[in-house]
Each structure stands twice: as structure tokens, then as C-alpha cells.
Structure 1
């Protein structure tokens, strides 16, 4: 599917209308900047006072646990990516106490000579009480926040398999976005040897020329850029590629991942992996035939596959909410077990 987006839509938080409003906006599967979404949070208020106040506020909730900490020399400018270092990356990893990491990041911000970064820290585990003190009214309480903390950094261009609401609390963040259909021009790296979980674009790193990656010019022509300050948020639909730059000496971001349109516990990515092993190396004509079946039964770009029959005759192709999710899942599990 081609997604043509000339610019990122911007709204004020008062224009969203709560969780139902965010869900309605998300139906278009396009990114949206929501200015001031979290400006009333105590954490954002501290961020507006400066990074020291923001880090002091966050430290109040520190549970004393350990987490993975990335570090790199200053000359890399926080551009974490593949390289000649440990494990084939250009940065080092270590597990340290979160409080010690916060101190290192602040020391770096004061001219300590390097950069540091912690990502995807579950707030409830590492900063208990933070989520209750800084609630997001646009999402249900079952969707829990994570924190991303560090010095200036460029997080490699990647996608998420879930909807993402990213809220800036301290410092500024620049997001460079590419639509899902840019994947073929982004020169994506391995899916099983990644920087931090998700495959990344080899071409979209900051300052990268296009000589080695000639198709990247087509992706770059589709790129959208937004800059967020403390209190601002970005809704990013699943599968949109994004490179994230933290621009200031120290930065804090909170994000929420959820699947806004799930019909059950199974993730679409599982279907993608299963399709890789069942379809990817079949002859091209057979793959084309299966593509026609996927278009007909799954993507349904034209019509429901049984629109020519009364609804009571649709069987498992009727609405998933009517018990058909479980019926189809049972068929799949039986096949996977060889039954």
C-alpha cells in the first residue's frame, strides 16, 4: 500500500478528545503531532525548568534496579549503529544501576567527554509511581509507559510493530519518518542481529550519503521531519520507520506501545514470520498466486470475499468478534501441531 503524506498533521491536545478521539485519528494510520499533550505533567513541568530539574524529579522514583546502558565516545555524537566494536556495534553495553546511569548522563551533559543512553525502561518497574503521577488520559490504564533517557543521540531508523505515542519531557527530539512502503529503499539490516531489538535501515543513518545505497534517494524523497519540545507528543502508527535524534545535552522521553486495532492476542508479525518460511522461497509464479489469495482473503482491498452470500453463510469469514477469531486460531494451531 502506498501512503502519500505531504506533511505531518499537528493538533493541540484539546483537539484530540480523549482515548476515543485518539483511536478515531489513528484509523488513518498516519503520524500526528499533538502539541502540549503532556505539558501539565509534573515531569514535563520539571523539564521546562531544565534538565537538572527533570533528572532530579525522575530520580525520586528510582527503584534502585539495574538496566542496560549504552555508552560511546564523544566523537560519535551519539550515533549508535553497527560498527567495529563489541558484537559488531560502535558502542559498548553494560548493566548498571539506573541511578548510576542517570549520574553518568548528567556528567556527560556537563562536559564529561562521552555519551550515554538507556532505552525502553518499564516505568512501573524502574520508576514506580511515575505513571500515576503523570497519567496519559488518551490511553487506557492497561497501556504502561516506558522511559528513554540519554545525552545527544541518533537512534537508528527502525519501525515498531505496535502503535506508539512518544511524549517529550526534557530536551528536544527530532523524528525523521518514512512510510511503510519505503522499506525496499531503506536497505534494512538483519532481523536477528539488531542494535536493540528491531531491524534498522543501513542507509538512513545521520550524514549518510546515497552512493552505497542508490535506492535510498526514493525513500528520502518521502521523509517527513518533526521536532518536539517538552510537553509535545507524536502518535506514530505501527510499521512507520523513524529515526530519533535527541538534540540537547540531556533528554527524557516517555512512550507507550499498544495495538489499537487488535482482535486477539496474536501479532501480525507472527504471520509475517510464518509466511517467510512457507512462501518466501517458492517459485515466483506460485508466490504471485498466493499473493492473489492474500489480497482476496486478508487484505480485501476491493470487497469482502463472501459478499455474494448472505451473512449467515459467511462461516469463519464472518466478524472475528463473533467467535471466529478463536475458530480460525484453533485451525491454525492444529495445523502447526501437525494434526
Structure 2
């Protein structure tokens, strides 16, 4: 993981895709959003930032995490009635900003965290006042606001640009292929939608997670100041720590290389029910076919034939996306 090269200029989504997204590696973009009005408001303190955002507040309620001081902002699994160590509350943006300010001034109060708020719904003028020109128009801002916190190590199935507005943020990153050493929890009982690493949040040398040492040796840690941004490719694991008493981050999710509406994660879920519990030898056979047709380590599966004879294996943009999708949908319907 590297800072963007000094002097790098990115003027549009195509340039961002070519220079930043294309290598599929995390990149820090120092000062990317330092001229945003919301960042400038945050430089004046939490009260000034709250006034700025309250002016944009649409009055819509969202779900907030509320944690006792004893958890120190570490929202995680626990002994609560729903299996977590925090409670949930329905708050507007203005209400959560006020609660965060109170808890920042008085550590004996519960901490508050509200994440993944679509700015278009909760603060409709935010995107117009704080524009970003290097992402596709469909990449829309989301707000993550709270007291000092540590969000459990997880991944996103979309590309992610995280922009720090107020407070410092520390990201601890692990590559996608570290998944086997991270001891991932269930996929259907999660804190906020994505499975988390149980080992990354445990005490050092926890005997339950002996393989985690291999992942820890590969960890990349980066700290961001207000105005900085981090590009995270999809499937990179990340633990996020908000280091100051009151913090705001804005992020954008999008799929930088989608050929159509179908997501790779959906394919993986279908493969789980179709392949995961077959005999080991058969799974190995399917692995060979997936490598040949999908992952293609040896190149195109019909490289030995003229391009005009590639049929469905020709470029997706030439109509093969729709053809393959129609065949798959017919199969799923039992046709």
C-alpha cells in the first residue's frame, strides 16, 4: 500500500480507473478533499461541523449504535439480547451529532456511532456542496459519524473511496487472500451487513486463532488526517479506528469494473450451494474448470482459435454478456 505518487493528477473517472483502481491495490490520496466546505467547517471544531451538517439535515431517522463507556467504542459481538455488545437507537443526523458532542465532552456518557448514511437521503445538498469529480456519477457519498471507535475488521464487495472529514482515522488492512488466517465469523449474523474477522479484534496471541500471526505479518497500517482519502479495492479486509473524541468520514462505493448488473458475490453464493459440499475430488475438478473459464491464469480459454470463432467466450461487450445471462437465467428457472 503506497501513497499516490507526488504530482499525480487525476481529473476524471477514466483517469482514476486507469491509475488508481486498475492495479487493485490500496492507495492513499493525501489532501484529496481538503478544500471541501465540510472539511473546512470541521477545522473549526465539532460545534462548527455540527452546525454545517445540521443545516443540511433532512430530518430522517437512521440506526445508531450506542455503546456503554466500558466497551470504549469497540462495537462487536457480546452478551446483549441480540448477540452484540451495544444497543441500537433511531436518531436523526442532528440528534446523533448532538449526542456525539455530549459524549466527546463527557467520557462517562455512552458513545454513539452512526454509519453508512446515504447523504442524498439524510443531507440532500451534501454532494453538491462537496463534489468529487474523479468517481462515476453513480458513486454517491455516505456519512460515518461517531465518537472514538474501532470498527471490526471486515471487507466490502465494492470498491471504496474513504474521505476523512473530521478526526484522524487509522486503517489496518489485510489482502483478500488472508481470509483463511483471519478466522471470519458467520455471514448471516453480522454487526452491520458484512462478516468480520474474529481474530483481528482479539487479544494478541489468542490461542483460539493460531493462524492469525501469518495475517498480522502482512498487515498494512495507515493513518489519515482530515482532507486525506484512501482507495480500497473490493475484498480488502480493513479495521477502522476513529482516533479522536468526535469524527466524520465520507465514503463512496461503486464497482469499478462491472460489465453489467450481476455481482461477483452473487456468483460466489450460488457456487456455495452448488459446489461447496460435493466430494473433495469433484470440487477439485470444478476448480480446474473455474480456473480455465473464469480466472484464466493461462490466458483466454480459446486463444488457440481465431477470435471470430470464440462464440460466447468472445468479449462481453459484443453482446455475450446478455447471451450468457439469458442462458444462466433459463437454467436457474429449470428450463
- With structure 2 as the length reference, what TM-score do the two structures score? 0.97
Contact 1:108–1:114 (CA<8 Å) still a contact in 2? Answer: yes
Q: Residue 174 of structure 1: CA displacement?
A: 0.3
The separation in 2 between residues aligned to 1:13 and 1:133, in whole angstroms, is: 26
Aligned to 2:149: 153
Please tell me whether residue 26 in structure 1 is matched to residue 21 in structure 2. yes
Aligned to 2:243: 247
The separation in 2 between residues aligned to 1:41 and 1:98, in whole angstroms, is: 19
Gaps of 5+ in 2: none
Q: Residue 141 of structure 1: CA displacement?
A: 2.3
- With structure 1 as the length reference, what TM-score do the two structures score? 0.96
Q: Residue 15 of structure 1: CA displacement?
A: 3.1
Aligned to 1:174: 170
Please give the per-residue CA displacement for 1:37-79, whole angstroms capped at 9, x wherever unaligned.
1001001111222222222211110000100010111121100
Structure 2 CA distance for partners of 1:303 and 1:317, relative to 1, 3 Å: same
Q: Residue 94 of structure 1: CA displacement?
A: 1.7
Please tell me whether residue 103 in structure 1 is matched to residue 86 in structure 2. no
Contact 1:86–1:92 (CA<8 Å) still a contact in 2? Answer: no
Aligned to 1:88: 83
Q: Which moved more, 1:19-28 or 1:71-80?
A: 19-28
The separation in 1 between residues aligned to 2:223 and 2:15, in whole angstroms, is: 23
Q: Residue 137 of structure 1: CA displacement?
A: 1.2
Aligned to 1:134: 130
Please tell me whether residue 230 in structure 1 is matched to residue 215 in structure 2. no
Aligned to 1:46: 41
| Other structure's SS at 2:317 match | helix
Please tell me whether residue 265 in structure 1 is matched to residue 261 in structure 2. yes
Aligned to 2:71: 76
Aligned to 1:4: none
Q: Residue 96 of structure 1: CA displacement?
A: 2.2
Structure 2 CA distance for partners of 1:19 and 1:329, relative to 1, 3 Å: same
Aligned to 1:8: 2
The CA RMSD over aligned residues, in Å, is 1.3
The separation in 2 between residues aligned to 1:117 and 1:91, in whole angstroms, is: 10
Please tell me whether residue 316 in structure 1 is matched to residue 308 in structure 2. no
The separation in 1 between residues aligned to 2:310 and 2:96, in whole angstroms, is: 57
Which of 321, 326, 330 aligns to 1:330? It is 326
- The number of residues matched between the two structures is 333
Q: Which moved more, 1:39-48 or 1:148-157?
A: 39-48
Aligned to 1:3: none
Structure 2 CA distance for partners of 1:209 and 1:114, relative to 1, 3 Å: farther
Structure 2 CA distance for partners of 1:60 and 1:209, relative to 1, 3 Å: farther
Which of 268, 277, 281 aligns to 1:281? It is 277
The separation in 1 between residues aligned to 2:42 and 2:93, in whole angstroms, is: 19
Structure 2 CA distance for partners of 1:135 and 1:14, relative to 1, 3 Å: farther
The separation in 2 between residues aligned to 1:73 and 1:38, in whole angstroms, is: 33
Q: Residue 187 of structure 1: CA displacement?
A: 0.3
Structure 2 CA distance for partners of 1:139 and 1:12, relative to 1, 3 Å: farther
The separation in 2 between residues aligned to 1:246 and 1:96, in whole angstroms, is: 20
Contact 2:54–2:93 (CA<8 Å) still a contact in 1? Answer: no
The separation in 1 between residues aligned to 2:163 and 2:136, in whole angstroms, is: 16
| Other structure's SS at 1:211 match | coil
Q: Which moved more, 1:87-96 or 1:157-166?
A: 87-96
Please tell me whether residue 220 in structure 1 is matched to residue 255 in structure 2. no
Q: Residue 213 of structure 1: CA displacement?
A: 0.5
Q: Residue 13 of structure 1: CA displacement?
A: 7.8
